Amino acid sequence: MPSTFILGGARSGKSRRALQLAESLSTQRVFVATAEPLDEEMKARIRHHKSERKSGWDTIEAHLELVDALSSDNVSNKVCVVDCLTLWLSNLMHHERDVDLETERLCGHLNQCAGTIILVSNEVGLGLVPETPLGRAFRDAQGRLNQRVADVCDTVEFVAAGLPIKLKG
């Protein structure tokens, strides 16, 4: 089934685009959330994202085990939105997981999954070079993750100012 990868900057409209696309495709939808509510700001962001979803959404939290969540029976034959790969990558790095291995697992799943998956990720390589080694390592890992996922997805869109620009498909 088709997979769509939606990229863009912070507050560009990526999540809204993913939700609209999913809602246009099916009434059977699942939202896979990767954010960990570790502080008040993140809790507020999560509440805001929940308020954007209309009724009819199931939610699965997958801070680290994204491929397991996507492989579950709760996702099969539904339209699935993963929001977002940037937070998932941050979680992986924070917990010192093997990012390359997890990326390969995700891309392998995308190549053989039965449902429709819409993935959201930030494009972080368009800004300033981060000051710290950790910041630069994250930016580089995000760029590699985005390239790998874009390679295996059927459709890739870049969202700027709420407007989707088709890059692939």
What residues contact 101, with CB distance under 8 A and at least 6 apart?
A: none
**Known active-site residue 49:** yes
Closest CA to 52 of 168, 155, 162, 164: 162
Quote the CA–CA distance of 74 and 90 in Å, as a whole number: 25
Find residue 58's DSSP bridge partners. 30
Are the C-beta atoms of 144 and 48 separated by less than 8 Å?
Answer: no
Q: Which residue of the set 49, 63, 95, 109 is catalytic? A: 49
Quote the CA–CA distance of 44 and 60 in Å, as a whole number: 18
Structure token digits, residue 58 = 């199931």
Query: What residues act catalytically?
Result: 49
